Structure 1
Amino acid sequence: MDFVNTGIEELAVSLIDLEEIAKRYDLVLAGQWDYERVTFDKKYTVSEGVYYLRVYGLTPDGDVGKNEAVIEFITPQLGKHYYPHGVEYGEDEFYPSFVVNDCKKTLAGLVKDLQAFNLKK
Protein backbone atom coordinates (compact mmCIF):
# COMPACT_ATOMS: atom_id res chain seq x y z
CA MET A 1 0.00 0.00 0.00
CA ASP A 2 1.45 3.33 -1.06
CA PHE A 3 1.03 6.50 1.01
CA VAL A 4 0.77 9.28 -1.58
CA ASN A 5 0.43 13.02 -1.04
CA THR A 6 2.14 12.94 2.35
CA GLY A 7 4.52 15.77 1.47
CA ILE A 8 7.59 13.70 2.28
CA GLU A 9 8.68 13.60 -1.36
CA GLU A 10 9.13 17.39 -1.23
CA LEU A 11 11.77 17.12 1.48
CA ALA A 12 15.52 16.60 1.60
CA VAL A 13 17.25 16.35 4.98
CA SER A 14 20.60 15.31 6.36
CA LEU A 15 20.84 11.67 7.39
CA ILE A 16 21.92 12.75 10.89
CA ASP A 17 18.75 14.83 11.38
CA LEU A 18 16.59 12.13 9.78
CA GLU A 19 17.88 9.41 12.11
CA GLU A 20 17.23 11.54 15.18
CA ILE A 21 13.69 12.50 14.16
CA ALA A 22 12.78 9.01 12.89
CA LYS A 23 13.48 7.57 16.37
CA ARG A 24 10.63 9.69 17.76
CA TYR A 25 8.24 7.73 15.53
CA ASP A 26 9.71 4.26 16.15
CA LEU A 27 11.19 4.22 12.65
CA VAL A 28 14.37 2.16 12.71
CA LEU A 29 17.20 2.23 10.17
CA ALA A 30 18.97 -0.89 11.48
CA GLY A 31 20.94 -2.40 8.60
CA GLN A 32 18.64 -1.29 5.80
CA TRP A 33 20.99 0.94 3.89
CA ASP A 34 23.55 0.75 1.14
CA TYR A 35 25.60 3.34 -0.71
CA GLU A 36 22.72 5.29 -2.17
CA ARG A 37 19.54 4.39 -0.28
CA VAL A 38 18.10 3.95 3.21
CA THR A 39 14.94 2.33 4.53
CA PHE A 40 13.39 3.20 7.87
CA ASP A 41 10.91 0.62 9.20
CA LYS A 42 8.16 0.73 11.79
CA LYS A 43 7.05 -2.78 12.70
CA TYR A 44 3.50 -3.68 13.67
CA THR A 45 2.90 -7.11 15.18
CA VAL A 46 -0.85 -7.57 15.47
CA SER A 47 -3.26 -10.52 15.47
CA GLU A 48 -3.71 -10.17 11.69
CA GLY A 49 0.03 -10.57 11.05
CA VAL A 50 3.25 -8.58 10.87
CA TYR A 51 3.26 -5.31 8.94
CA TYR A 52 5.97 -2.80 8.11
CA LEU A 53 5.67 0.89 7.39
CA ARG A 54 8.65 1.61 5.16
CA VAL A 55 10.05 5.09 4.57
CA TYR A 56 12.53 5.08 1.69
CA GLY A 57 15.26 7.60 1.01
CA LEU A 58 17.91 8.12 -1.63
CA THR A 59 21.01 10.29 -1.58
CA PRO A 60 21.84 12.18 -4.78
CA ASP A 61 25.57 12.10 -3.99
CA GLY A 62 25.55 8.30 -3.80
CA ASP A 63 27.21 7.84 -0.42
CA VAL A 64 24.95 7.21 2.58
CA GLY A 65 27.98 6.31 4.67
CA LYS A 66 29.24 9.89 4.66
CA ASN A 67 28.11 11.84 7.70
CA GLU A 68 26.97 14.72 5.51
CA ALA A 69 24.65 12.61 3.30
CA VAL A 70 21.45 14.37 2.24
CA ILE A 71 18.41 12.12 1.90
CA GLU A 72 15.54 12.67 -0.53
CA PHE A 73 12.39 10.57 -0.20
CA ILE A 74 10.22 8.39 -2.38
CA THR A 75 6.69 7.16 -1.68
CA PRO A 76 6.38 5.36 1.68
CA GLN A 77 4.71 1.95 1.73
CA LEU A 78 2.93 -0.40 4.09
CA GLY A 79 3.56 -4.08 3.53
CA LYS A 80 2.62 -7.39 5.09
CA HIS A 81 5.36 -9.85 5.99
CA TYR A 82 5.07 -13.46 4.89
CA TYR A 83 7.56 -15.92 6.31
CA PRO A 84 9.90 -16.95 4.68
CA HIS A 85 9.22 -14.99 1.49
CA GLY A 86 9.35 -11.39 2.67
CA VAL A 87 7.14 -8.32 2.52
CA GLU A 88 4.28 -7.86 0.03
CA TYR A 89 2.93 -4.37 -0.75
CA GLY A 90 -0.02 -5.09 -3.07
CA GLU A 91 -3.32 -3.27 -2.90
CA ASP A 92 -5.04 -6.66 -2.65
CA GLU A 93 -3.42 -7.32 0.75
CA PHE A 94 -5.51 -6.84 3.89
CA TYR A 95 -4.32 -3.90 5.99
CA PRO A 96 -6.06 -3.39 9.36
CA SER A 97 -7.54 0.10 9.54
CA PHE A 98 -5.90 0.85 12.88
CA VAL A 99 -2.48 0.05 11.37
CA VAL A 100 -3.19 2.23 8.31
CA ASN A 101 -4.37 5.08 10.55
CA ASP A 102 -1.26 4.83 12.74
CA CYS A 103 0.92 4.88 9.62
CA LYS A 104 -0.81 8.05 8.40
CA LYS A 105 -0.36 9.66 11.83
CA THR A 106 3.31 8.61 11.91
CA LEU A 107 3.98 10.01 8.43
CA ALA A 108 2.17 13.28 9.18
CA GLY A 109 4.25 13.81 12.33
CA LEU A 110 7.47 12.83 10.60
CA VAL A 111 6.86 15.23 7.70
CA LYS A 112 5.95 18.05 10.08
CA ASP A 113 9.13 17.57 12.11
CA LEU A 114 11.37 17.16 9.05
CA GLN A 115 10.12 20.37 7.43
CA ALA A 116 12.22 22.43 9.85
CA PHE A 117 15.33 20.70 8.44
CA ASN A 118 14.33 20.74 4.76
CA LEU A 119 17.26 21.50 2.47
CA LYS A 120 15.10 21.80 -0.68
CA LYS A 121 13.79 25.25 0.28
Structure 2
Amino acid sequence: MIEIPSKIEGMQFDLYKLEQALKPLGYTVGGNWDYDHGSFDYNIDSEVGYQFLRVPFQAIDGQLDSNGCTVEIGRPFLLSHKYQRGLDDNAFTGNLSASFNQFSEPVDKDASFPKEYIDVGKALLDELESALINE
Protein backbone atom coordinates (compact mmCIF):
# COMPACT_ATOMS: atom_id res chain seq x y z
CA MET A 1 0.00 0.00 0.00
CA ILE A 2 1.28 3.45 -0.96
CA GLU A 3 -0.47 6.45 0.54
CA ILE A 4 -0.68 9.57 -1.65
CA PRO A 5 -1.33 12.92 0.06
CA SER A 6 -4.11 14.74 -1.77
CA LYS A 7 -5.90 18.06 -2.00
CA ILE A 8 -9.23 16.23 -1.64
CA GLU A 9 -8.43 14.78 1.80
CA GLY A 10 -10.92 16.11 4.31
CA MET A 11 -13.30 17.43 1.65
CA GLN A 12 -16.97 16.64 2.23
CA PHE A 13 -19.51 15.60 -0.40
CA ASP A 14 -23.03 14.29 -0.71
CA LEU A 15 -22.35 10.59 -1.39
CA TYR A 16 -24.81 10.36 -4.27
CA LYS A 17 -23.31 13.40 -6.02
CA LEU A 18 -19.79 12.09 -5.40
CA GLU A 19 -20.70 8.75 -6.95
CA GLN A 20 -22.23 10.52 -9.97
CA ALA A 21 -19.01 12.50 -10.43
CA LEU A 22 -16.66 9.50 -10.08
CA LYS A 23 -18.42 6.79 -12.09
CA PRO A 24 -17.88 8.51 -15.48
CA LEU A 25 -14.16 8.73 -14.61
CA GLY A 26 -14.02 4.93 -14.19
CA TYR A 27 -14.39 4.56 -10.42
CA THR A 28 -16.54 1.91 -8.78
CA VAL A 29 -17.72 1.53 -5.21
CA GLY A 30 -15.23 -0.76 -3.46
CA GLY A 31 -16.46 -4.05 -2.05
CA ASN A 32 -15.29 -3.40 1.51
CA TRP A 33 -17.90 -0.84 2.55
CA ASP A 34 -19.90 -0.71 5.73
CA TYR A 35 -22.65 1.59 6.98
CA ASP A 36 -20.16 4.23 8.07
CA HIS A 37 -17.22 3.92 5.65
CA GLY A 38 -16.27 2.75 2.19
CA SER A 39 -14.14 3.55 -0.82
CA PHE A 40 -14.13 4.27 -4.51
CA ASP A 41 -11.70 2.18 -6.55
CA TYR A 42 -10.10 2.76 -9.91
CA ASN A 43 -8.77 -0.49 -11.37
CA ILE A 44 -5.37 0.37 -12.87
CA ASP A 45 -4.43 -3.15 -13.98
CA SER A 46 -5.60 -6.73 -13.48
CA GLU A 47 -3.03 -8.88 -15.28
CA VAL A 48 -1.35 -10.34 -12.17
CA GLY A 49 -3.83 -9.63 -9.41
CA TYR A 50 -5.38 -6.18 -9.20
CA GLN A 51 -3.83 -2.77 -8.80
CA PHE A 52 -6.15 -0.01 -7.57
CA LEU A 53 -6.21 3.63 -6.75
CA ARG A 54 -8.46 3.56 -3.68
CA VAL A 55 -10.19 6.68 -2.37
CA PRO A 56 -11.57 5.99 1.11
CA PHE A 57 -14.45 7.90 2.65
CA GLN A 58 -16.18 8.08 6.02
CA ALA A 59 -19.83 8.93 6.65
CA ILE A 60 -20.10 12.09 8.73
CA ASP A 61 -23.84 12.68 8.39
CA GLY A 62 -26.11 9.68 7.96
CA GLN A 63 -25.38 6.13 6.86
CA LEU A 64 -24.06 5.12 3.45
CA ASP A 65 -27.27 3.32 2.56
CA SER A 66 -29.51 6.32 3.30
CA ASN A 67 -30.44 9.32 1.15
CA GLY A 68 -28.57 12.53 1.82
CA CYS A 69 -25.49 10.91 3.40
CA THR A 70 -22.50 13.25 3.60
CA VAL A 71 -19.02 11.70 3.46
CA GLU A 72 -15.52 12.95 4.08
CA ILE A 73 -12.66 11.83 1.83
CA GLY A 74 -9.68 10.16 3.48
CA ARG A 75 -6.13 9.80 2.16
CA PRO A 76 -6.07 8.01 -1.21
CA PHE A 77 -3.67 5.11 -1.68
CA LEU A 78 -2.41 2.61 -4.23
CA LEU A 79 -3.23 -0.99 -3.39
CA SER A 80 -2.29 -4.30 -4.96
CA HIS A 81 -4.11 -7.61 -4.44
CA LYS A 82 -2.69 -10.85 -5.84
CA TYR A 83 -5.23 -13.65 -6.27
CA GLN A 84 -4.89 -17.41 -6.38
CA ARG A 85 -4.78 -18.80 -9.89
CA GLY A 86 -6.68 -21.84 -11.09
CA LEU A 87 -9.33 -22.12 -8.39
CA ASP A 88 -12.13 -22.33 -10.94
CA ASP A 89 -10.26 -24.26 -13.65
CA ASN A 90 -11.76 -27.69 -12.87
CA ALA A 91 -14.84 -26.75 -10.89
CA PHE A 92 -18.45 -26.47 -12.00
CA THR A 93 -20.15 -23.44 -10.54
CA GLY A 94 -23.90 -23.05 -10.76
CA ASN A 95 -25.60 -19.67 -11.06
CA LEU A 96 -26.70 -19.60 -7.42
CA SER A 97 -23.23 -20.48 -6.12
CA ALA A 98 -21.59 -17.99 -8.48
CA SER A 99 -23.72 -15.17 -7.13
CA PHE A 100 -22.25 -15.72 -3.66
CA ASN A 101 -18.69 -16.77 -4.57
CA GLN A 102 -17.69 -14.27 -7.21
CA PHE A 103 -14.10 -13.74 -6.13
CA SER A 104 -11.32 -15.88 -4.75
CA GLU A 105 -9.56 -14.84 -1.58
CA PRO A 106 -6.40 -12.81 -2.19
CA VAL A 107 -3.12 -14.67 -1.77
CA ASP A 108 -1.59 -11.37 -0.64
CA LYS A 109 -4.00 -8.56 0.26
CA ASP A 110 -1.13 -6.08 0.66
CA ALA A 111 1.09 -7.16 -2.20
CA SER A 112 3.84 -4.79 -3.27
CA PHE A 113 2.64 -2.25 -5.79
CA PRO A 114 4.33 -2.45 -9.23
CA LYS A 115 6.60 0.56 -9.73
CA GLU A 116 5.46 1.06 -13.33
CA TYR A 117 1.95 1.92 -12.10
CA ILE A 118 2.84 4.43 -9.37
CA ASP A 119 2.98 7.36 -11.81
CA VAL A 120 -0.27 6.15 -13.39
CA GLY A 121 -1.94 6.21 -9.97
CA LYS A 122 -0.64 9.72 -9.26
CA ALA A 123 -1.89 10.97 -12.64
CA LEU A 124 -5.32 9.44 -11.95
CA LEU A 125 -5.41 11.22 -8.59
CA ASP A 126 -4.50 14.54 -10.28
CA GLU A 127 -7.43 14.01 -12.67
CA LEU A 128 -9.74 13.19 -9.77
CA GLU A 129 -8.64 16.27 -7.80
CA SER A 130 -9.32 18.48 -10.81
CA ALA A 131 -12.77 16.98 -11.28
CA LEU A 132 -13.78 17.36 -7.64
CA ILE A 133 -12.16 20.68 -6.78
CA ASN A 134 -13.45 22.42 -9.91
CA GLU A 135 -16.97 21.01 -9.53
State the TM-score, normalized to the length of structure 1.
0.77
Provide structure 1 residue ranges, at least 5 long, that are not aligned to the other structure.
none
Which residue in 1 is equivalent to 2:75? Answer: 75
Distance 1:113 1:94 in 2: 25
Q: Which has the higher contact order (CA 8 A, sep 6+)?
A: 1
Query: Quick check: 1:37–1:56 contact (8 Å CA) kept in 2?
Result: yes
Larger Rg: 2
TM-score (norm 2): 0.70
Q: What is the one-letter code of the residue matched to 2:130?
A: K
Map of 2:133 onto structure 1: 115
Q: What's the RMSD between the two structures over aligned residues?
A: 2.2
What is the identity percentage for the equivalent residue pairs of Structure 1 and Structure 2? 26
- Confirm or deny that 1:106 pairs with 2:107: no
Corresponding position of 2:40: 40
Taking the aligned partners of 2:70 and 2:34, their CA distance within structure 1 comes to: 14
- Contact kept? 2:28, 2:41, Cα under 8 Å: yes
Query: Is the CA contact (8 Å cut-off) linking 1:43 and 1:53 kept in structure 2?
Result: yes
Post-superposition Cα deviations, 1:55-96, rounded to whole Å, max 9, x if no partner, equal: 10001124111221111011111111122335316xxx2423
Q: Partners of 1:76 and 1:100 in 2: how far apart? A: 13
Unaligned runs of 5+ in 2: 84-104
Please name the residue that 1:3 is paired with. 4
Task: Indicate conservation of the 8 Å contact 2:15/2:68, yes or no.
Answer: yes
Match among 106, 109, 113 for residue 87 of structure 1: 109
Tell me the equivalent position of 1:64.
64
Give the Cα separation in 1 of the matches to 2:46 and 2:74.
26
Shift of 1:26: 1.0
Distance 1:87 1:62 in 2: 30
Question: Is 1:29–1:40's contact at 8 Å kept on the other side of the alignment?
Answer: yes
Give the ranges of 4+ consecutive aligned residues of structure 1 lying more than 4 Å apart after TM superposition.
46-49
